Chain A
Amino acid sequence: MELIAKLSLLADAAKYDASCASSAAPKRNSRNREGLGASTGGGICHSYTPDGRCVALLKILLTNFCLYDCQYCINRRSSDVPRARFSVDEVVRLTLDFYQRNYVSGLFLSSGIIRSPDYTMEQLVAVARSLREQHQFRGYIHLKTIPEADPALVAAAGRYADRVSVNIELPRQEGLQRLAPEKSLSTIHSAMGVIHQAGETHRHATPSFSGRKPARLAPAGQSTQMIVGADDSSDAQVLTTAENLYQRFKLRRVYYSAYSPIPGAPGTVPHQPPPLLREHRLYQADHLIRLYGFGAGELLAGTTTLALDLDPKLAWALNHRDQFPVDLNLAPEQLIARVPGIGLRSAQRLVMLRRRRAVCFDDLVRLRCVVRKAQPFIVTRDYRPSRAEPESARLARQLRDPVPEQLGLWG
């Protein structure tokens, strides 16, 4: 098969994985050195496809042949898609070519399981090793781990890759058992544990791919992906699972991928996608958990579903009117960042500003906060919400985001 035909099939097969980040790798560059590539720590999106998703890495499978039969996956054994397989060298050449033309900042390589989990994992590691050792490639590498592979292979992956990850796919064992019979939550957890441990303990012992100084394995940490809407897990189950993973394995990111009905899907999975808005709300909630110090329980406040028509921070604030209004001239930065319409950065800027002079209402406008949402919850030198501020239900109606009707039905 021609290379371009393989690329077509194996990029298509990889596109259901939402992760494409190229950030958090240690700084390195190829200034006046043999080889190619750099990482700055930040991520770069080199293009966007018409689905609005970023292209940061060459995201492909090594092969879409697979021994497993995960029902939600287009590459499952029983699917009748055309199959293809790259050689190690083909992936290496494609990566270097795409990189030097500035299409991407590196490689995100995953694979269907062929022969055995160990064999498959060895192939993935061989690609990364060749890039790093033969070609002195210093761009970003993200390898997907086969959970059932030998932990030594997983550690080897971490030696070459910036990020090593394993997809949990579904939040609960019941779902996995029904839809991915060859997988199990405990195997996935132990693979995550191996990556986490490797990062912690090998820090001192192992030389980096350049052989110069000891480096942390998989320095950009691990991430995972959960498919939303392939089984009937609720938002609460999805978010508590995510929260647990962040705590237990120090994951950098959990990605949520609204289930995309695949061509020729079996009857065990829905034929309709969940609303993309649900995925969006999960990302917003996840963001609040990771960066703002919210707990999943706080955001859900006793329910199992995030509101579709309110962003989770606003929904939380409406449920906690007793904590408001917050005086922007007195409150700690963390609390200011909990005000709807005011982000972390604006909170920080408000605190910097108030060291010089009192904060007034127009400052929020100039900081481009979402004043409409913040207004009922704040006090400034020249503004305080009226005492007759409407009760939460009415406020919710005023501040809600319009939800496209057909999307509200599912999920």
Chain B
Amino acid sequence: MSWTGHAADFNAWRDQARALYRAQLPPHQVHWDDAAQPSLLSDGGNLPAPVRAGPRVPKTLLAQLERAAACRIEQRWNLLYRVLWRVAEGDRSAMLAGDADGSQLVQRLTAVRREVHHMHAFVRFQPAPDGLPLDLIGWHQPRHQILRWVGDHFHGRLGRRRWLLATPDDGALHGDGEQVHWLAQCPPDWASAARGAAGEGDPMWERYFSSTFNPNRLNPQAQLRHMPRRFLAALPEGALSARLIQATRRGAAPEVVRSGAPLRIKSAPPAEAEPAEPHRDNQAGRADKDR
């Protein structure tokens, strides 16, 4: 017998996975679809009949599976069911890096953890426009479905401030000064205000960014290694960085670089080879972890 499961989110997957395990359907007989099929889901009778109890797995595994499920990739459920099955059958190496399945699980957990960290780092808030019951608004586009894991962080930072953090396709977080709410549908005027704020620059920040940059150590590869282009491009420092790099390569005076202004070129610049980039895997404060 084989089976096709349908799950749009973790809870839906967990309920079906439990039933399939109890019906003793091994992973190679189960295929998972990413889309929910409400007609099937609502019809519990469609699930095969249980022949045993379980699955019994460590609590940490459930938490890990839930976090790994936030990873937006195709076919996200097959691996999770395989890991669940193997661990429940007593093979705990399925949870460990090094194991073929375990490594994939750990990679997804790492991707999710990174994306959460990226969000902590690269979200920007702007003062909210008058008329909204908000102090700060932000717009961010995470790759994975992690919004629910960052609410606490921003709540802790912003205290009683009222804030909105909206995304293009995963709803929004709203801190009302006391609690954080996840809004599946962000009110359209809030969303458009947040989206608009994303494009707004801040002269103070841009000036700080240009002034703290050291042209003597120009190393754009290192910048991109730490700050993926998709984030850099979404922030004002993306365009600014391009100007700083250009000004530095053309040998502009320090105060010109610091101003962050685009170069006005009077005559054609001398043809110049790219400066050799020193081979550096790290930067001050973060040595290579795994060498």
Contacts and interface: CB of A to CB of B under 8 A. Distances in A.
A binds B: yes
B116 to A, nearest CB: 11
A315 to B, nearest CB: 12
Interface stretch (A213-221, A229-237, A397-405): A397-405
Nearest to B242: A50
- Size class of the contact patch on chain A: 35 or more
Interface stretch (B6-14, B61-69, B271-279): B271-279
B97 interface: yes
Interface stretch (A7-15, A113-121, A199-207): A7-15
A114 B121 CA distance: 35
A52 B287 contact: no
A38 B204 contact: no
A150 B147 CA distance: 48
Nearest to B126: A101
A156 interface: no
Interface string B113-145: 000010011111110000000001010000000
B148 to A, nearest CB: 17
A101 B283 contact: no
Contacts of B245: 50
Contacts of B100: 366
A336 to B, nearest CB: 13
Contact of B213 (A36, A50, A280): A50
Contacts, number: 250
Contacts of B202: 101
A94 interface: yes
A349 B216 CA distance: 40
A83 interface: no
- Size class of the contact patch on chain B: 35 or more
A402 B279 contact: yes
A34 B258 contact: no
A321 interface: no
Given A257-B284, A366-B100, A33 B209 contact: no
Contacts of B34: none
Contacts of A76: none
A255 B124 contact: no
Interface stretch (B21-29, B48-56, B71-79, B156-164): B156-164
A274 to B, nearest CB: 11
B120 A44 contact: yes
A275 B278 contact: yes
Contacts of B277: 404
10 contacts: A7-B208, A11-B211, A36-B158, A45-B227, A100-B161, A263-B254, A280-B279, A311-B291, A353-B99, A368-B290
